[in-house]
Amino acid sequence: MLDIKFVRENPEIVKQNIKNKFQDNKLSLVDEVIALDIESRETQQKADSLRANRNKISKQIGALMAQGKKEEAEATKKLVTENSEKLAQLEAKEAELEDKIKNIMMIIPNIIDPSVPIGKDDSENVEIERFGEPVVPEFEIPYHSEIMENFDGLDLDSARKVAGNGFYYLMGDVARLHSAVISYARDFMINRGFTYCVPPFMIRSDVVTGVMSFAEMDAMMYKIEGEDLYLIGTSEHSMIGKFIDTIVPEEKLPYTLTSYSPCFRKEKGAHGIEERGVYRIHQFEKQEMIVVCKPEESKMWFDKLWQNTVDLFRSLDIPVRTLECCSGDLADLKIKSIDVEAWSPRQKKYFEVGSCSNLGDAQARRLKIRVNADEGKYFAHTLNNTVVAPPRMLIAFLENNLQEDGSVRIPEALRPYMGGIEAITKK
């Protein structure tokens, strides 16, 4: 969420940013919120004047009573009552205008970083760099669900009976591999200095609206009926929410946390044939990383975060590339985002396995995460990034480590988490 003062003083910058994100339907909101802001400040001035006048007159009543001037005191009391009624009306109007301004400000997108390429959607994202040599083996690689089923490791039919489409049972070596990857990712991030955390898997509505846009909320979140609780779509939500309405001493920054959680997503809309199996699902597990830092350090942390994911995937012999998200592909709170994509030797192309985002002070402003410095208070910057998100990550792992005999090689880094075995074999 932007600062209303910034919008008031820079309306054309805000409008151009909206155009750059191809959201022209929101252009009128800028003039609308500026007009409401003018009305709000005028109302506040009138209310402040009445409050000051009320206090002044109240003192006069005491003085008149002390002087025995009861009639004048009673007349003055009536004036106080009249002023109080007017003040109550103004205060109600103040609250109404404040809500209207906040609701619009929650919709106006954050100002994107100047380095972000301008484009309508993810088809115009820009490749930055490749890490590792993509390999296409001479033998045919089956679809990921078939690879898992060859190890008796996937049961979609039973999951449909129990929970419907978009759910799964992982079994045996595949389930063990899933847990091994999560545990390896946890230790990988701890070794990089991040504090491990297991957060709440449900959050209240004020946290939801603090960490994401309304469009994301509608497309992703599951609401707990009858309670002010939502299932998290990623642990980033509750991890950033941990700092809601806090004033952080500057010397304690940065906070660098890595978290495990299950994630729950609606995944609305139709998806292509390449997204069947366990590619796009309603429930999965994830290792995440978040940073709360000074504004001047957020660019540095942004580069460190996506590099962590690249390094982890390369340690498991999976080629990856980084992709700069264009303006139209950025969620409204983000100022910059990079996707990490893993190589799929079966599809002979890369696919997304993680996303790194810098949100500037947007989440901090919504959640009131302030930093106490010698020169005064300011809003922190927040960032987040995926470490790994099985089972999608397992697709990349299985395809890149599949052997011609149908076995799957276990990279050396992961073997301690798999009981020392060097490969899993077909049943």
pLDDT, tens digit, 9 for 90 and up, residues 103-120: 999 999 999 999 999 999
Average pLDDT over residues 164-171: 93
- Catalytic residue, from 235, 261, 344, 355: name it: 355
Q: For 263-308, what is each residue's pLDDT tens digit?
A: 999 976 545 545 678 888 999 999 999 999 999 999 999 999 999 9
- Cβ pair 291, 407 in contact under 8 A: no
- Catalytic residue, from 365, 366, 370, 392: name it: 392
Question: What confidence score (pLDDT) does residue 280 get?
Answer: 85
Average pLDDT over residues 362-389: 96
Q: For 188-212, what is each residue's pLDDT tens digit?
A: 999 999 999 999 999 999 999 999 8
Per the annotation, the verdict on 321 as an active-site residue is no
Per the annotation, the verdict on 160 as an active-site residue is no
Q: Is the pLDDT of residue 147 over 90?
A: yes
Which CATH code for domain 4-105?
Answer: 1.10.287.40
Q: For 12-29, what is each residue's pLDDT tens digit?
A: 999 999 999 999 999 999
Per the annotation, the verdict on 352 as an active-site residue is yes
Where exactly are the structural domains of the chain? 4-105, 122-424
Question: Under CATH, to which class is 122-424 assigned?
Answer: alpha beta
Per the annotation, the verdict on 265 as an active-site residue is yes
Task: Answer whether 4-105 and 122-424 agree in fold.
Answer: no
- pLDDT band, very low/low/confident/very high, at 310 (cuts 50, 70, 90): very high
Question: What confidence score (pLDDT) does residue 357 get?
Answer: 97
- Catalytic residue, from 352, 407, 409, 415: name it: 352
Per the annotation, the verdict on 355 as an active-site residue is yes
Average pLDDT over residues 325-348: 97
Written as one string, the DSSP assignment of 222-250 is EE-TTSS-EE-SSHHHHHHHTTTTEEEEG
Q: Is the pLDDT of residue 176 over 90?
A: yes
Alpha carbons 151 and 174: distance in angstroms, whole number: 7
Backbone φ and ψ of 187, nearest 5°:
-70, -35
State pTM to two decimals. 0.89
Alpha carbons 208 and 234: distance in angstroms, whole number: 11
